[in-house]
Amino acid sequence: MLHSLVIMGYRLSGYSNFKEFKQQTYKCHSDGRNWHPDYPYIIKHLDSCRFTGKAMLYNMLQLPYHIPFMTPVSLAMNNLGGSKAQSPANARRMQSIGPTLNYCPKCVQRQLGIYGRSLWERSHQLKFASVCWRHGTRLIPVEQHLHHPLLPADFEMQDTEYVFDSREIWLANQSRDLLVGNHGPSNLAAMAGLYRARAISLGYTRGRKIDYGTIVDHLKKRFQEDFLLRTMQCADLDGVRGALYAAMNSVRLVANPIHHLFCMEALFGDQRLFFSQLKALSRSEETAGRVAALNSDETGPVHKQIFMVELRRSGQEVMVALHKNFPFTHSWILRNALVWSRRKIAELTLRGPKRPSQLRLAAKHRNFREALEEQMSRRAIHANTAAKVLASGSAVGAHSAQAFHRMSSELRRA
Ligand SMILES: [Zn+2]
């Protein structure tokens, strides 16, 4: 918006050269990205949201995507003064961004209809996002002219191409949500702790370490390899694993927002959940212990919700379906909510059972449990069989559990 405003000012000013216009306006040379230090005094009157304003002045409409993954200190070093006094992280980010901008031809038509002019939209500028979140159209990437900047309507290419790839649409919506969320800079240690605790509680572990390979497998199933490699910019899946590791441990100075979006998708399923937990965490100012507490409370409902969705879809075969589609939920249920899950499955079918048969089944049930525990100790190899046994025997199990309870209460009375 502000970037567009500056360009409009240049058009109306009658200057034949953008450089001269800026020189006169800001009393300093600029290549269109780095502005004179005096500019903070002007910006106050133009932009109520400091961070986004800065980003646009730097011709970095992408900066707002980076802010949630920066510390307050590194953001403060992202000063308006120009390239000389920047932090190394900022300098690297500047290099990686470049002057490529995206626009959506449908949005251009819409803006021309409403405002009579076209504008650069921040929500189209996430690197590697290639679809408009509003129209589902292919974004057109162009090189911005630093000395004669153009508005989207000035470019000849205005062909509309609709995209039906759900992965591209996912990325477009994620990038928009990231902007709309308007998140401030974060405590990176807390962020790393949050990722870690969530990964552990979801079962993405091998021994005591986080198993990044399994997370990559999960993402590969969801997005396919080609999309991962294109957006993560890695040559192979080892690279993707490395990128996830770097994001989850806040290793790199220049965080790539897309890497974080994938981490959030794999571990939280929803970036709002991630940011709300991060906020709660920063507020409490405690780290590891608090994260663990937060996660143990939070993951249960998530797994149970996944279970209920699958139950509705697959009925009594729910555990088999879980094992296939949500292996971590499957093992979480086996570990933590076996009785609950059996009851839920039994609720599907059992109505008014008879007592003698219940007692017979109770005996079976105990044998069944022992067998299951044995299988669980041999988990990985036999997990599939356990799921099948559980799925077929679970109605029986819950049924007999009720009977068993009733029997023991009667015994106590006697
Ligand atoms: Zn659009």
Domain end, chosen from 144, 178, 212, is at: 178
- Name the domain count of the chain: 3
- Interhelix angle 338-349/288-314, nearest 10 degrees: 20
Indicate the average pLDDT of the chain. Answer: 72
Cβ partners under 8 Å of residue 159, min gap 6? 105
Q: Tokens 């609709």 sit at which residue?
A: 162
Please name the residues in contact with 306: beta carbons below 8 A apart, sequence gap of 6 or more.
322, 326, 329
- Cα 142 to middle of ligand 1, angstroms: 16
Whole-angstrom distance, CA of residue 382 vs CA of residue 367: 18
**Ligand 1 centre from 111 Cα, in Å?**
10
CA distance 80 to 239: 34
Asked whether the beta carbons of 362 and 398 are under 8 A apart, the reply is no
Tell me which range, 89-103, 134-148, 164-178, is most confidently predicted by mean pLDDT: 164-178
How close is the Cα of 130 to the center of ligand 1, in Å?
A: 11
Q: How far is the CA of 92 from the centre of ligand 1 (A)?
A: 30
Same domain? 190 vs 174: no
CA of 37 to the centre of ligand 1 (A): 35
The pLDDT value recorded for residue 374 is: 58
pLDDT in tens, 97-142: 555 788 999 999 999 999 888 888 888 888 888 999 999 999 999 8
Residue type, 235: A
Provide the pLDDT for residue 123.
85
The pLDDT score that the predictor gives to residue 322 is 86
**pLDDT one-digit tens code per residue, 54-79:** 344 444 567 778 888 888 777 766 54
Tell whether the torsion through CA atoms of 154, 155, 156 and 157 is positive or negative: negative
CB 61 within 8 A of CB 125: yes
DSSP 8-class letter at 138: B
Say whether both 190 and 168 belong to one domain.
no
What pLDDT is recorded for position 150? 79
- Mean of pLDDT values over 18-27: 63
Are 15 and 129 contained in the same domain? yes
Mean pLDDT of 352-375: 51
State which of 178, 211, 226 marks the end of a domain: 178
pLDDT > 60? residue 328: yes
Boundary-marking domain end, from 153, 178, 203? 178
- What pLDDT is stored for residue 405 in this prediction? 47
Lowest mean pLDDT among 101-115, 168-182, 221-235, 382-396: 382-396
> Is 334 within a domain?
yes
pLDDT at 104 (0 to 100): 93
User: How far, in Å, from the CA of 61 to the mean position of ligand 1?
Assistant: 17
Is 49:180 a contact under the CB 8 Å cutoff? no
Amino acid identity for residue 83 in this structure: S
Whether residue 254 lies inside any domain: the answer is: yes
Model confidence over 245-268: pLDDT tens digits?
989 888 776 678 899 999 999 898
Please, what's the b/e burial string for 229-240 (b: 16 or more CB within 10 A of its CB; e: otherwise)? bebbebeebeeb
Residue type, 358: Q
